Amino acid sequence: MNDERAIAAGLARKFEGCSLKPYLCPAGYWTIGWGNRALANGAAVTAHTPVITQAYADALLNSTIAALQIKLRQMVKVPLSAKQEGALLDFQYNLGTAALSGSTLLRLLNARQYSAAADQLLFWNHMHQNGRLVVSPGLTRRRHAEWLLFNGLSSPARPPVPAPSPTNSTETLNAASLARAKELA
């Protein structure tokens, strides 16, 4: 496994935890292993998905990140450090390629605005719960860890409060609660 994938897998393990039997994640999706919503054969995880082994969970995490890395490298047009790529792979693992591909984060990154792109990570700390978009303390901690890693910083550093982006309503919504969420972190 390369450095970028090892970094992403480490973050995923830290924030996802591992369950060898299917469970509903906080956002309401059937999940298994290290937060996978699909099995190696592409089948969606359901309540009836059989229990998996630890070796399968680990292999599924690694193969998923390897597949995401191919997609990430097709989208990103600028050089990245191993830490930057690892942080983006974890973001992509957690939120999906579609979220990254249409994001202000990717647009800023490809414009070589690395710092502004990193700050965009912090906007993605919401999840749907009972039909509403709410701040997730877990996602706030995860985005902060990705931000630190992307910027090559260590844990005591505090991220800035980025200005809301008018191009993405989710990012605009997140701006108001970003400061509140960082107080909890």
Enter the DSSP assignment of 164.
P
Residue 129's beta-bridge partner residues?
132
SS3 state of residue 24: strand
61: helix, coil or strand?
helix
- Spatial distance between the Cα atoms of 105 and 76, rounded to a whole number of angstroms: 11
Let me know if 16 is a catalytic residue: yes
16, 85, 146, 171: the catalytic one is 16
CB 144 within 8 A of CB 122: yes
Instruction: From the candidates 4, 18, 25, 171, give the one annotated as an active-site residue.
Output: 25
Phi/psi of residue 153, nearest 5 degrees:
-105, 170
Where are the alpha helices (H) located in 96-135, listed in sequence order? 97-101, 104-110, 114-121
18 part of the active site: no
Catalytic residues: 16, 25
